[in-house]
Amino acid sequence: MNNELSLTGKTALVTGASGGIGSAIVERLIKAGASVALHYHTSEERVLQLQKLYGDNICYLTRADFADTQSVQEVLDDVWSWKQKIDILINNAALIEPVESIDNISEQDLIKAMQVNFIAPFLLAKKVLQKMNHEGYGRIISISSIAVKYAGSPQMAHYMASKAALEAGMLALAKHAATSGVLVNVVRAGVTKTDAHQRIGRDDLSARESLIPIGRAADPSEIAEVVAFLVSPLNTYMTGAIVPVAGGE
């Protein structure tokens, strides 16, 4: 292990840990020495595999539906009871529900997207930040999408708007936390090889990959490596940044 990237003794909370990017981040943080709480909602197969692989002392599972605001405090209390600290928060959980056209985006679609993709992670970060401020140390990373740069497709306007709100909220938190030893950053993930594409009806990535300057989609591990740097001891000054990991897009 590179000692400069060591997270030995640190406790992390990764939301949306059952997804491709989330599980890759979990494994990278564990590789660096961290104990990791894995949040999930409905898909538990992958988080159970990780817990079995690394053990209960390294992996702690917490389930919640972030469409319910109360779940934010419940997750925080649950994870805190495990190690009595949270040094690293990775806001990765997200709701992606494309519709047929922008005309089909309902008020409820907007509310739900904002709740899961902005309100819940913002409240979680704000609450964790209060605890981190007390300790004088912490790292908060929120995963956004490169599509925010282009406003995305009309069928996903509600998703893009919620991610744009997340970015703005994290930049404000970064300024608030800047003198407390807590660094807050955003990673704009590009097209990444995960099961999420199949869930939204995108079975063939080749056309989308042709638009990426590097010419291919990212592997989840490539997103995880950037996250690992941002939460590592190597990062001592970088905060309030939106970091694109998108192959040149």
| Residue-wise pLDDT tens digits, 67-97 | 999 999 999 999 999 999 999 999 999 999 9
Q: Is the pTM of this model over 0.75?
A: yes
The predicted structure's pLDDT at residue 200: 53
Average pLDDT over residues 95-124: 95
Compare 147 and 29 and report the one with higher pLDDT. Answer: 29
Active site annotation includes 137: no
Cα separation, 184 vs 230, whole angstroms: 9
Average pLDDT over residues 219-231: 97
Cα separation, 121 vs 128, whole angstroms: 10
Question: Model confidence over 51-67: pLDDT tens digits?
Answer: 999 999 999 999 999 99
Average pLDDT, the chain: 93
Secondary structure letter of residue 2 according to DSSP: -
Question: Is there a contact between 43 and 18 (Cβ–Cβ < 8 Å)?
Answer: yes
Question: Model confidence over 185-207: pLDDT tens digits?
Answer: 999 999 999 766 455 555 667 88
The predicted structure's pLDDT at residue 26: 98
The alpha carbon torsion through 235, 221, 64, 241 (nearest 10 deg) reads 30
- Kindly state the percentage of the chain with pLDDT values over 70: 95
Edge-first strand order for the sheet with 11-14 is: 59-63, 35-40, 11-14, 88-91, 138-145, 182-189, 242-245
**Among 54, 137, 159, 237, which one carries the catalytic annotation?**
159
Alpha carbon of residue 73 to chain centroid: 17
